[in-house]
Amino acid sequence: MSVGQIYSEIGGNLMRVSYRVVSAVALAVAATAVWSFQASATDGIPGFYKKNGKAWYNHVTTDNSSVYVTYRLHDGAERTVCLPAGAHVLGPAEEITSAWYAGKPVGTG
């Protein structure tokens, strides 16, 4: 094997290793960014709030239950949705004026 062939072989292996390392690092950074966005989206705020142009409802629970939440639109209409634990976007902040806990689904406690 010539020096050029050895260099090509080593270079190719290093490129494959470098690609794998870069891919692993990129995946880790992306996962951290998603987690950070979810964590920062609620800022630990329970219930209804507005942030970044969106109306949110954060259902905080220790039993992983779902709840009914009613929200009022700017025109006075009301909508009720069933939400699992966690923070949920209800819609654009300019369209929703308020939201509140409206009970648990039947048979869930």
C-alpha Rg value of the chain to the nearest Å: 24
Q: What confidence tier does 36 reach under pLDDT thresholds 50, 70, 90?
A: very low
- Report, as an integer, the average pLDDT of 15-43: 52
Q: What confidence tier does 45 reach under pLDDT thresholds 50, 70, 90?
A: confident
Q: Where are the domains of the chain?
A: 1-42, 43-103
Q: Is 104 helix (H, G, I), strand (E, B) or coil?
A: coil
Region label for 43, one of left (φ > 0), alpha (ψ between -120 and 50) or beta (otherwise): left
Look at the block and give the residue holding tokens 């260099």.
7
Task: Report pLDDT for 105.
Answer: 87
Per-residue pLDDT reduced to its tens digit, 89-100: 999 999 999 999
State how far the Cα of 24 lies from the Cα of 77, in Å rounded to an integer: 48
Q: What is the DSSP letter of 44?
A: T
Q: What is the DSSP letter of 57?
A: E
